[in-house]
């Protein structure tokens, strides 16, 4: 989905230099509630970016939402909106979302199926939950594109990972590589994204790349990660250096999302749905979106056109006063 905050902050995201502090090795990243839109709109639990940590590898954005009663909220209705400099990684646990974008991709996002959109220099897309959907539940993730790839041509990909067993847990690797399984979806930095469903009273050892930093997002239940308790909707962060992660459950099962990758090594500027390298670049992207698409001055501009959506595109919020101040 889009970042629908009406007053989004500009954020400089950098790999943090400080060591993990929660427990012996694990840092706890707790979510904050972010309302998206009006009074009936969805509220998401955002764990990335935050003041304590902006990035986990190239992962720079994590919104965790649901189970959301569509009858109460109206579901997801996100008009065409832009992205630059990133990939959107859509992963559902329940429900169905219709996706359309300016590459002419038209797809249904369903549980257990990766929908990956590479924005490159510019793309726009819409997302609408289907009439058959009664409950929406999932995660919306972004990866930052490195300097070498951030102006690549936009594209859309769908990948259905195989579900396999690892020490009693069910695992789906939707991006990158883990446990000898590799996703065919495009990745521009060394990275991993996977779902792990862990039964109650189960302990597993997960071999991982020692050059990666890792985060374990708990969707349901709770887990112990390398001796630290990670509760529902929080991320347990593990700095580079680990060759394995020890994950266990108590008397209830848990569903988790593993995010990892080599430290990104570049500073990025995030505002609304744009990722750039400077305040001026964000201003230019916003101006181009508003002129070419919202005011319809150049339908052939870099953001293209979304076919099949009946409605107007989403205007960008007003930029905050002042220039960016870096955050650590």
286, containing H or E segment = helix 279-289
Contact between residue 139 and residue 155 where contact means Cβ atoms under 8 Å apart: no
CATH, residue 36: 2.60.120.10
| The model's pTM | 0.94
Phi and psi angles of residue 123, each rounded to the nearest 5 degrees, phi first:
-155, 160
Contact between residue 29 and residue 235 where contact means Cβ atoms under 8 Å apart: yes
Q: How many domains does the chain have?
A: 1
Whether 106 is covered by a domain: the verdict is: yes
Whether 306 is covered by a domain: the verdict is: no
**In this predicted model, what pLDDT tens digit does every residue of 212-269 receive, in sequence order?**
999 999 999 999 999 999 999 999 999 999 999 999 999 999 999 999 999 999 999 9
34, containing H or E segment = strand 32-35
Whether 314 is covered by a domain: the verdict is: no
- Assign 282 a pLDDT band (cuts: 50, 70, 90): very high
42, containing H or E segment = none
Whether 296 is covered by a domain: the verdict is: no
Whether 183 is covered by a domain: the verdict is: yes
pLDDT of residue 19: 45
**In this predicted model, what pLDDT tens digit does every residue of 107-123 receive, in sequence order?**
999 999 999 999 999 99
Contact between residue 97 and residue 109 where contact means Cβ atoms under 8 Å apart: yes
Whether 267 is covered by a domain: the verdict is: no
Q: Which of 209, 212, 287, 220 has the alpha carbon at shortest distance from 249?
A: 220
**Residue 201 structural domain:** 31-261
Whether 158 is covered by a domain: the verdict is: yes
Whether 253 is covered by a domain: the verdict is: yes
- Assign 8 a pLDDT band (cuts: 50, 70, 90): confident
């Amino acid at each position: 989905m889009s970042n629908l905050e009406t007053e989004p902050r500009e954020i400089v995201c950098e790999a943090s230099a400080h060591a993990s502090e929660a427990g012996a090795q694990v840092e706890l990243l707790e979510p904050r509630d972010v309302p998206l839109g009006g009074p009936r709109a969805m509220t998401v639990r955002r764990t990335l970016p935050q003041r304590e940590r902006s990035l986990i590898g190239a992962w720079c954005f994590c919104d965790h939402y649901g189970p959301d009663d569509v009858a109460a909220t109206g579901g997801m209705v996100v008009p065409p909106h832009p992205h630059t400099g990133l990939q959107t990684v859509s992963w559902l646990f329940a429900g169905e979302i219709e996706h359309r974008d300016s590459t002419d991709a038209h797809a249904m996002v369903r549980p257990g199926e990766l929908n990956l959109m590479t924005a490159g220099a510019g793309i726009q897309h819409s997302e609408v939950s289907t009439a058959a959907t009664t409950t929406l539940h999932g995660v919306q993730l972004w990866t930052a594109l490195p300097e070498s790839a951030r102006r690549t041509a936009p594209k859309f990909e769908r990948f259905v990972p195989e579900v396999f067993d690892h020490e009693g847990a069910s695992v789906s690797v939707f991006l990158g590589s883990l446990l000898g399984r590799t996703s065919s979806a495009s990745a521009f930095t060394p990275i991993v994204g996977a779902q792990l469903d862990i039964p109650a009273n189960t302990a597993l050892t997960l071999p991982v790349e020692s050059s990666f930093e890792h985060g374990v997002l708990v969707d349901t239940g709770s887990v112990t990660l390398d001796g630290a308790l990670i509760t529902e909707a929080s991320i347990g962060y593990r700095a580079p250096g680990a060759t394995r992660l020890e994950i266990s459950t108590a008397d209830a099962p848990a569903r988790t999302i593993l995010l990892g990758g080599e430290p990104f090594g570049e500073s990025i500027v995030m505002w609304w749905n744009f990722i750039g390298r400077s305040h001026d670049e964000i201003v230019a992207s916003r101006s181009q979106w508003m002129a070419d698409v919202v005011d319809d001055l150049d339908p052939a501009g870099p953001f293209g056109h979304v076919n099949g959506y009946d409605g107007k595109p989403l205007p960008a919020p007003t930029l905050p006063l002042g220039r960016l101040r870096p955050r650590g």
